[in-house]
C-alpha cells in the first residue's frame, strides 16, 4: 500500500509540474 501511495504522490507531483 505504501508503494501505491508513493506512486500516487509522484504522479500528482508530475502533473503539477506539467501544469506549471
pLDDT score of 14 = 92
C-beta contacts of 1-7 below 8 A and 24+ residues apart: none
HEC letters along the chain: CHHHHHHHHHHHHHHHHHHC
pLDDT of residue 13: 92
Return the pLDDT at 5. Answer: 74
Gap between the Cα atoms of 4 and 18, Å rounded: 21
Residue 1 pLDDT: 61
Per residue in 1-20, pLDDT (tens digit) is: 667 778 889 999 999 888 77
pTM to 2 decimals?
0.29
Amino acid at each position: 500500500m505504501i508503494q501505491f501511495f508513493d506512486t500516487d504522490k509522484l504522479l500528482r507531483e508530475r502533473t503539477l509540474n506539467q501544469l506549471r
